[in-house]
Amino acid sequence: MKNNSFILKEFLDNAFNLKSHLMEFLSIKECDLDGFLANAKMNLANLHPGDDLNDVSDFYTEMVGDRHVADLAAWHITSKDYIADTLKLQQRFSRDLVLDFGGGIGTHALANAMSSKVEHVFFVDINQTNRKFVEFRAKKLGVEKKLSFCKTIKEVQISKFDTIICLDVLEHLSDPSSQIEVFNEIMDSDSIALFNWYFYKGEKNEYPFHIDDVKVVEKFFKTLQSMFLEVFHPILITTRAYKKIS
């Protein structure tokens, strides 16, 4: 197992070998990688059908393919200081059984799997390419025994988690309020959940896939405030730590 400073340094140095993992997993040549990453955000936004989408989750299961891997990889590389702060935050709280819901390209799940305080990480993501990519990365990084991969929380078959990580996911769900109700049910009184959200489609509709409906957002905050108590942390980022209101 590696210590926290070493894990952070590895992320800041090379995002846990992200570029080489991308090249091998997606069969991209080194000379094409920078262009692939540079266009990733625009490609993902252009793919979204806007109001024509019947079911929000179809976008992540049927449409994005490997484009979300590309978009998330570009973001984690270009915003590495911000992502490193979210890793510092999870290092304060993560322990024992961890659920990473909507884990994307696996940065947080892999870092948690490297931690000696964590017994096992359950990586849940609706997108099959993301799950396969993170499974591939876990093997490359030698932490595969500490990770399991599922499409839904039900498949995990664990009734209580000590830590829940749900970062940059709630705004992608049609009903974020019911999702945090599910999280509440699978937490103990001393479990901690880390949540953030960005209910905004962007100045120029850069994030057409984000939910921004006023009623949905209001319902989310009412549920959050009725079920969770914030636990202070000193890291200056929007992600918040919560325990259950017992």
Ligand X SMILES: C[S@@+](CC[C@H](N)C(=O)[O-])C[C@H]1O[C@@H](n2cnc3c(N)ncnc32)[C@H](O)[C@@H]1O
Of 82 and 245, the one with the shorter C-beta distance to ligand X is: 82
State the Cα–Cα distance between residues 221 and 20, nearest whole angstrom.
40
DSSP 8-state code for residue 199: -
| Owner of token pair 């069969």 | 27
190 or 200, CB closer to ligand X? Answer: 200
Q: How far is the CB of 153 from ligand X (least distance, A)?
A: 8
Shortest CB 1 distance to ligand X, Å: 23
Q: Measure the CA–CA gap between 71 and 85, rounded to whole angstroms.
A: 20
Smaller CB separation from ligand X, 107 or 163: 107
| Least distance (Å) between residue 29 CB and ligand X | 25
Which residues, in sequence order, are CB contacts of 193 under 8 Å at separation 6+? 163, 164, 165, 166, 180, 183, 187, 228, 241, 242, 243
> Whole-number minimum distance, CB 16 to ligand X, in Å?
12
Q: Which helix (H) or strand (E) holds 122?
A: strand 118-124
- Nearest Cα to 84, choosing from 243, 246, 245, 239? 239
| Distances, alpha carbon 150 to alpha carbons 10, 16, 27, 68, 131, in Å | 26, 22, 24, 17, 8
- Closest contact distance (angstroms) between CB of 116 and ligand X is 23
In the complex, residue closest to ligand X by CB: 104
Nearer to ligand X, 103 or 162 (CB): 103
The residue count of the chain comes to 246
C-beta of 66 vs 168, nearer to ligand X:
168
Enumerate binding residues for ligand X (CB under 6 A): 57, 60, 68, 72, 102-104, 107, 124-127, 130, 167-169, 172-173
Complex with ligand X: residue 36 or 59, whichever CB lies closer: 59
CB of 92 to ligand X, least distance (A): 17
Adjacency order of strands within the sheet including 187-195: 147-150, 118-124, 96-101, 161-166, 187-195, 240-244, 228-231
User: What is the sign of the dihedral through the CA atoms of 180, 199, 148 and 146?
Assistant: negative
Q: What's the rounded Cα separation, in Å, for the pair 113 and 122?
A: 10
Using the minimum distance from each CB to ligand X, give the nearer residue, 12 or 245.
12
Q: How far is the CB of 65 from ligand X (least distance, A)?
A: 11
